[in-house]
A and B are shown apart, each in its own frame.
Chain A
């Protein structure tokens, strides 16, 4: 069978991802002799992968379709709670729901991780339709603030619906099922799905809406249907991302899903480039690493008798300042709306070599 051009490249990506998993799972601890190094690295790679899923999915709506949504945290919350409630055992649920018992049949229902995660995506997706049908009639900043409002309403419902979500107490003891296979698998799957979608006729319809709504509609594009489609797929992956996060953290509560969570994902999308999938992957990875790396500055350190106090909030100062500076000075972000490709890299290298050669010639 002849493999399509697309799939060939996709298989390479899959192999690279598999290699990273094997590498991270391998005996690096013994190799490097740093105790705890492996689990720390694995944790960061997990977060990178989840954030990649979140950034990619937000980029589909904000970057490719040009619809400024600020509701990601709400859909993540739906996914996280769905996954948590479906994977926890009846006993674990009874331990957590000691104030108000959980409603039947949720109390006894326990599903394996994969169907729970898919359901998490679908629940978020279905709610995105409920939100999108009214909200996607709005444009620009109004859409942003309306989706932000819907996300906050979702969060407040979760906080108040104690017999389903345990309210403000949150959920504890969520089975820690996720490992690198799950997170990287989701990231790769999400990337491939969006890449194929974006390069297809549907992707062109999305981009035409971003470029000029009135012209797109005049060319026969059903604006509402396509906006809703992009919003659904985006929210599906936000739900899956939320589900992965719930299983990784094993505890969730409504406060986690406030607007700052959406802000973090938005930051990754903007820094990577609105309308670039590879930009989102790179940026999600870098931002996640930096978040972890800079964690040091927020923690108090004891060096013998000297105490260096941590400064909470400093990381977000750095990141929000970066965001403002990037938007003001380099609004296209890392990648603009271009993609990283083998040909692009080759061209870049060729130009680099040529520059070096020219320099060599001029100096000689």
Chain B
């Protein structure tokens, strides 16, 4: 198990957002986390990435306890994420967005940077080459110097994923990457996600609101409703589960 969540509970005051959550990801797996709005999916992400410390339970990455660690340290341990509402550094250029993710590996100190020493310049050149390489792999190398905020929506989503990849994660958490996309775009994105999983040897946990989108690519699906897991299994099993149909698909049909 590369990532394991055990008996997690997240409580905000009187609101129980997530309860008794158990989740285990195998190396290389692509797991979908689905559920209706307000089911607690994003809260799960926020607890795993350290934005919130869980009220109860533990999270381990490759056997190491990361419960309640600071988000930047968790990222350095190997968990990267994207955000449901895109959070790019919109006034910075596309390549700068990627370079920020490489910053924590920088060996040069601040004085090297100020004095522009050979050591720093070499590292900067190395970082830029790496960032350009990553951008090329997501087809954004041609817009590297444009402000990130000026990109079309779909490219912004891809840049967010690219930026997360630049931290060199073992586990990638994607929060509704297909939000706001039409069906054709969604399918294309899912193919893209499968591709990067294979290329970078990632383990991916994917939040999706629309069930159809994840069906095709997930090996396993976890269904969350009102903060608890109501079903788990292959897409086929889950889609036949009466509780899922009742709690989740029922809502979806009305929506």
A contacts B: CB pair < 8 Å = yes
Chain A residues in the interface with B (C-beta under 8 A): 4, 6-7, 193, 196-197, 200-205, 207-208, 211-212, 214-223, 229, 337
Do A201 and B113 have beta carbons less than 8 Å apart?
yes
Q: Which of B91, B100, B114 meets A219, CB within 8 Å?
A: B100
- Not counting A4-B116, A221-B100, A221-B103, a sample of 12 additional A-B residue pairs whose C-beta atoms are within 8 angstroms of each other reads A201-B113, A202-B110, A204-B100, A211-B88, A216-B100, A217-B71, A217-B72, A218-B83, A220-B76, A220-B167, A221-B72, A337-B91
Do B71 and A218 have beta carbons less than 8 Å apart?
yes
**CB proximity of A159 to chain B, nearest CB, Å:** 34
**CB proximity of A317 to chain B, nearest CB, Å:** 33
Q: A4-B121, A7-B116, A221-B104 are in contact. Are A204 and B99 (CB under 8 A)?
A: yes
Q: A200-B124, A201-B99, A221-B103 are in contact. Are A216 and B89 (CB under 8 A)?
A: yes
Tell me, in angstroms, the Cα distance from A221 to B76 when the chains sit together. Answer: 9
Q: Is B90 an interface residue (CB 8 A)?
A: yes
Do A202 and B113 have beta carbons less than 8 Å apart?
yes
Tell me, in angstroms, the Cα distance from A222 to B163 when the chains sit together. Answer: 16
Closest residue of A by beta carbon distance from B166: A219
Can you name 25 A-B residue pairings with CB atoms under 8 Å?
Answer: A193-B114, A196-B114, A196-B115, A200-B116, A200-B124, A201-B103, A201-B124, A202-B110, A202-B113, A207-B96, A208-B100, A212-B88, A212-B89, A215-B83, A215-B88, A216-B100, A217-B70, A218-B71, A218-B80, A218-B83, A218-B164, A219-B100, A220-B103, A220-B104, A223-B72
Q: How many A-B residue pairs have CB under 8 A?
A: 102
Q: A215-B83, A220-B103, A220-B104 are in contact. Are A197 and B113 (CB under 8 A)?
A: yes
Interface string of B102-116 (1 = CB under 8 A from A): 111010101001111
Q: Is B87 an interface residue (CB 8 A)?
A: yes
Q: A215-B89, A218-B81 are in contact. Are A204 and B114 (CB under 8 A)?
A: no
Q: A211-B90, A215-B89 are in contact. Are A201 and B121 (CB under 8 A)?
A: no
Q: Which 10 A-B pairs have CB atoms at the shortest separation, nearest pair first?
A: A200-B113, A220-B104, A211-B89, A215-B87, A220-B75, A208-B100, A219-B101, A217-B71, A212-B87, A217-B72
Tell me, in angstroms, the Cα distance from A204 to B80 when the chains sit together. Answer: 19
Chain B residues contacting A229 (CB-CB under 8 Å) are 110
Closest residue of B by beta carbon distance from A212: B87
Chain A residues contacting B104 (CB-CB under 8 Å) are 219-222
Chain A residues contacting B164 (CB-CB under 8 Å) are 218-219
Majority secondary structure, A binding face: helix
**CB proximity of A230 to chain B, nearest CB, Å:** 10
Tell me, in angstroms, the Cα distance from A16 to B108 when the chains sit together. Answer: 31
Q: Which of B49, B76, B116, B166 meets A196, CB within 8 Å?
A: B116
Q: How large is the interface on B (under 10, 10 to 19, 20 to 34, 35 or more residues)?
A: 35 or more
Closest residue of B by beta carbon distance from A200: B113
Do B100 and A214 have beta carbons less than 8 Å apart?
no
**CB proximity of B172 to chain A, nearest CB, Å:** 12
**CB proximity of B150 to chain A, nearest CB, Å:** 14
Chain A residues contacting B89 (CB-CB under 8 Å) are 207-208, 211-212, 215-216
Chain A residues contacting B87 (CB-CB under 8 Å) are 212, 214-215, 218
Tell me, in angstroms, the Cα distance from A262 to B124 when the chains sit together. Answer: 36
Do B75 and A204 have beta carbons less than 8 Å apart?
no
**CB proximity of B55 to chain A, nearest CB, Å:** 21
Closest residue of A by beta carbon distance from B98: A219
Q: Is B144 an interface residue (CB 8 A)?
A: no
Interface string of B154-167 (1 = CB under 8 A from A): 00000000011011
**CB proximity of A200 to chain B, nearest CB, Å:** 4
Q: Is B120 an interface residue (CB 8 A)?
A: yes
Tell me, in angstroms, the Cα distance from A23 to B123 when the chains sit together. Answer: 41
Chain A residues contacting B167 (CB-CB under 8 Å) are 219-220
Closest residue of B by beta carbon distance from A194: B114
Chain B residues contacting A337 (CB-CB under 8 Å) are 91
Chain B residues contacting A7 (CB-CB under 8 Å) are 116
